[in-house]
Amino acid sequence: MTAPGMLHGVSLGPGDPDLITRRAWSLLTRTDAVWTYPVRSLRKESYALDIALRAGLSAPAQHQALLFPMTHDAEKLARHWLKAAETVQALLATGQDVLFLVEGDASTYASFCYLARVLRELDPAARIDVVPGVTSFNAACARLQLPLSEQDDTVAIVPAAYGIAAVERMLDDFDTLVLMKVKPLLDDLIDLLARRGLLAHSRFIEKAGSPVERIVHDVASLKGSKVNYLSLLLVKNPGRERGELVRGCRKKTSTEIEEDNPNDE
């Protein structure tokens, strides 16, 4: 009986092929594994596959797109996640390893999370490997030459779809906000940042590290324009009022020191 293969979630970074890790590269150059990759529509190309191809890699003879549609319809999503997992399960049953190509990092807002979860539901014994990668917001900070965090900064990484009220509340608690998937609410976010005096401390980046990367320092200039789904806002909040910070570890009391000293017996 053939032992089932392993599913590898292969993170490729946000767009620059040079950010592919050595671990991911070693898997991608194998000749005995099947490539799978997400598409939002069967009429659209896979951005993850594009990163691999721009790295100079060639897709193996056996490769397959898996549909992960852009919708909030829970039933439709569940149906497509199940179909993708069943497709991968059938490939694994032949003894082949399956690589699922992921833009960014496989553990961060990635289609791979749903695929792995449903596959485990179908087969609790399924062997799954996650290869970490560079996230879009880490790459964005590097491209912008802005630190994600310094010293005791607090950081929030959230989809902008949580809404303007939620984002505004976070501005009271976090020194850096990474707002993902800003396309649907961009104009409202610009208004909020203007009202809070944070436009000068905000940066927009789209498809970080790719040949069509776009960086905008004057975020207000984007109002009324269309942006790509793979875009984010990096918001620094230098005027945030902070509470008291307790630094370092608590010192032991003299009693605790005596109890911990084996020579005191």
Query: Nearest-CA neighbor of 180 among 204, 201, 200, 199?
Result: 204
205 and 93, same structural domain? no
Tell me, what's the pLDDT at 255? 47
187 and 123, same structural domain? no
125 and 29, same structural domain? yes
What CATH number is given to the structural domain containing 46?
3.40.1010.10
The one-character DSSP state at 135 is -
pLDDT band at 256 (very low <50, low <70, confident <90, very high): very low
Helices (H), the chain: 22-28, 47-54, 74-93, 111-122, 136-144, 164-171, 186-195, 254-260
Q: What is the extent of the structural domain holding 190? A: 137-236
Q: What does the pLDDT average to over 60-86? A: 93
Which helix (H) or strand (E) segment holds residue 65: the answer is strand 63-67
Q: What is the largest CA-CA distance in the chain?
A: 76
pLDDT band at 252 (very low <50, low <70, confident <90, very high): low
What CATH number is given to the structural domain containing 185?
3.30.950.10
Residue 256's CB: how many other CB atoms inside 10 A? Answer: 10
Residue 76, pLDDT above cutoff 60:
yes
Q: Which two tokens stand for residue 223?
A: 């109002």
Domain count, the chain: 2
Q: What does the pLDDT average to over 150-175? A: 92
Q: Which two tokens stand for residue 184?
A: 């649907």
pLDDT band at 71 (very low <50, low <70, confident <90, very high): confident
